[in-house]
Structure 1
């Protein structure tokens, strides 16, 4: 019986560890170094797709962005155009902190977005109100940005409801010269 208890505890620990998400600190020392203010400055353009919980494509989108800074306070204006003609606008108000963390707010974000960069990676989380079929639902965004070059990054966002992934957004974001 003791043996079975040990096996059960070890199995449970293995399952918990295998479900854990990576920490942004894992990417310390990777390059190119992600500098949020440097990348999100000026005009940017994003191209992306939205997938449902099964991985099926549900939408395509293009986003025009304009980012400006006054010291450690930034504004990122995002204008979304979806393949079905829907448009959306989000304006982020960002505060950069000395320890590579940042906070952000936007009109459709519940509370405050929290983020941190390490090496070539930036990670942040926030809750958002989404309009779906003429109703609003609260979801959590787990947003990972991977800097590929100083002018291009890949952004993968898991969309969760009650801790279960219900969708995913993948974007390629490029600085516009």
Structure 2
């Protein structure tokens, strides 16, 4: 028969409990990003529009050129689709306060809202655009600087590279129709 003292039992339990914990991984400090930092100047991206419901898919390249004058940021987006179509859309954003912007693009319905939070920028808006198989679809788009899952029926991811070491993921999505 093995006899354990209370002290041995206590230390044994603590040692076992310590093994059960997963150590916290060290986190590097996140670099804050602002809309004007992300979109002032030139950048090139590529992506694909996918509509799961209809099965349509379009690949594209986007050249972006942004200019900041005072509290107004203008971003010209030139889209080049694999099927040969080309399209140019222009965003005009106005600073609405600390970490907040409002904006419009040629195809938006109403105003876009932009919120800057640490290492992430979120852009939400409704836009009318032509889908190859479904005609005009109102779409809610969110731009997210980290790859967060967005439950959606339609998704496009656009990677924008300013340099080999800096890559930004933009995810555009619309909710499932009601």
Give TM class, smaller chain. Answer: 0.5 to 0.7
Unaligned runs of 5+ in 2: 1-27, 165-178
Cα shift at 1:93: 0.4
- 1:98 correspondence with 2:97: yes
Aligned mates of 2:132, 2:159 — CA distance in 1 = 27
Corresponding residue for residue 124 of structure 1: 123
CA deviations on 1:38-68 (whole Å, 9 max, x unpaired) are 22111111111222226x7812110011100
Higher relative contact order structure (alpha carbons within 8 Å, sequence separation ≥ 6): 1
Question: Scaled by the length of structure 2, what TM-score is found?
Answer: 0.67
Aligned mates of 1:86, 1:130 — CA distance in 2 = 14
Corresponding residue for residue 152 of structure 2: 165
Corresponding residue for residue 11 of structure 1: none
Distance change in 2, residues 1:133/1:171 (3 Å): closer
Question: Scaled by the length of structure 1, what TM-score is found?
Answer: 0.67
In the TM superposition, structure 1's runs of 4+ consecutive aligned residues that sit over 6 Å from their partners are none
Distance change in 2, residues 1:145/1:176 (3 Å): same
Corresponding residue for residue 175 of structure 1: 162
Distance change in 2, residues 1:30/1:100 (3 Å): farther
Aligned mates of 1:33, 1:130 — CA distance in 2 = 32
Distance change in 2, residues 1:133/1:60 (3 Å): closer
Say what the alpha-carbon RMSD is for the aligned residues: 2.8
Unaligned runs of 5+ in 1: 1-28, 147-153, 159-163
Aligned mates of 2:43, 2:50 — CA distance in 1 = 23
CA deviations on 1:101-153 (whole Å, 9 max, x unpaired) are 1111012100000010111111121000011248322222122123xxxxxxx
Count of residues in correspondence between the two structures: 136
Distance change in 2, residues 1:67/1:176 (3 Å): farther
Corresponding residue for residue 145 of structure 1: 145
Tell me which structure has the larger Cα radius of gyration: 2
